[in-house]
A = this chain, B = another copy of it.
Amino acid sequence: MIRIPFEDVRLEFRRVLLTRDCPAEKADKVSYEMARNSLEGVYTHGVNRFARLIRNIDEGIVRVDVMPTVVNAFGAIENCDGHLGLGIVNASWAMDRSIQLAGQHGIGLVALRNTNHWLRAATYGYQAVEAGMAAICFGNTMPNMPAWGAVDSRIGNNPVTLAFPGPRGAVIVDMAMSQFSYGALESALLDGKQMPVDAGFDIQGRLTRDPAQVIASRRPLPAGYWKGSGLSFLLDVFASCISLGNSVCAIGRLPGDEHGLSQVFIAVHYRSIAPEKEADAILEDSLEDLLRSEKDKSTDRITWPGLRAIETREKNLAQGIPVDERVWTEIRALG
């Protein structure tokens, strides 16, 4: 493990993107957000995912030369076609439209089809928070998890983020519908560790914390067991039916790596009906109450949703982003 300054990571990403004829403005955006993901501790969607993005560009399933277009619009809602553009660029564009609609109507919803992996869901929550708005965003994925009671993967570990502005920073959750990603399972397997809670099923259909068993059975656990299974299905229905785009099963029928996703971006201009000062006071009361929690023996402290990203950012800004040397060498070799 080496540590690399944020700026060096960002500039290296930018250099590689420019070799793929990515317009400078898009290379700026994508390199900044992916470097920021690692900076704030979401390593799976930063440095560790960059080579795959470049591969997807080279395969032609992520296109650097397009921008989304609006298909249908009615008042505060729109559906748009992402034309298989860069996932981060498309999603930021869609969130920005949603924020504009919310500015006019109090709330906006933009559903985006034919887009690509947005990397970190929280990115678009933070984007709304910077505009003083709350956000609910979600999207679908390729089939990568069995429904509750099933053996074969037909639902997605669909990501969702909820974000709300607060005086201490964004209060935010960013979660996938699986309890653990395959990335987390593989990382624990390499380290010889068990997962801290149920991670999925073994080949016999028994719940297990053993990452090797879950990787072998291809049966990762929906978060909340049957609850995450049902919620995953509904998020997919919303995203695909409102955008008129691919559902999880339709994504599964496309050849090649995951692409052609559907996403929804909801921005809420709540300050138009709830003055900032009053809303902040309610939020601050809740945060203080949460932090008064009595912690159990195995926990070092209780945090609020969003704090760890702020702390990791500060640490990695000071010390550099921790990067696997082989991963960095691979990126440096891209050209």
Interface of A with B (CB < 8 Å)? 71-79, 104-109, 111, 134, 136, 146-147, 149-152, 154-155, 162-164, 166, 171-173, 175, 179, 197-198, 201, 205, 207, 223-225, 227-228, 230-231, 233-238, 240-244, 247-250, 266, 268-270, 272-274, 278-279, 282-283, 285-286, 289-290, 292-299, 301-302, 304-305
Copy total for this chain: 2
- For A150, what are the chain B residues with a Cβ–Cβ distance below 8 Å? 293-296, 299, 302
- For A207, what are the chain B residues with a Cβ–Cβ distance below 8 Å? 197
Which of A207, A289, A295 has its CB near the most chain B CB atoms (within 10 A)? Answer: A289
Top 9 nearest A-B pairs (CB, nearest first) are A223-B224, A149-B299, A77-B106, A74-B272, A150-B293, A249-B289, A72-B273, A75-B106, A75-B105
State A142–B320 Cα separation when bound (angstroms). 43
Given contacts A162-B238, A249-B290, 19 further A-B contacts (CB under 8 A): A75-B106, A109-B268, A150-B294, A150-B299, A152-B293, A154-B290, A164-B238, A171-B234, A171-B237, A173-B233, A175-B227, A179-B224, A224-B224, A233-B290, A236-B286, A240-B283, A241-B283, A242-B270, A244-B278
Secondary structure class of chain A's binding surface, majority of residues: mixed
Q: Is the CB of A296 within 8 A of B237?
A: no
Contact of A75 among B172, B243, B272 (CB under 8 A): B272
Tell me the minimal C-beta distance from A213 to chain B in angstroms.
14
State A299–B201 Cα separation when bound (angstroms). 14
- For A248, what are the chain B residues with a Cβ–Cβ distance below 8 Å? 286, 289
- Given the known inter-chain contacts A270-B241, A290-B147, A293-B146, please indicate yes or no for A109 contacting B109, CB distance below 8 A: no
- Given the known inter-chain contacts A149-B302, A150-B299, please indicate yes or no for A227 contacting B224, CB distance below 8 A: yes
Q: Is the CB of B74 within 8 A of A242?
A: no
- Given the known inter-chain contacts A274-B244, A279-B241, A286-B240, please indicate yes or no for A234 contacting B172, CB distance below 8 A: yes
State A129–B250 Cα separation when bound (angstroms). 24
Q: Is the CB of B75 within 8 A of A76?
A: yes
Q: Is the CB of B136 within 8 A of A136?
A: yes
- For A237, what are the chain B residues with a Cβ–Cβ distance below 8 Å? 164, 166, 171, 283, 286
State A328–B163 Cα separation when bound (angstroms). 44
- Given the known inter-chain contacts A136-B136, A149-B299, A173-B230, please indicate yes or no for A285 contacting B74, CB distance below 8 A: no
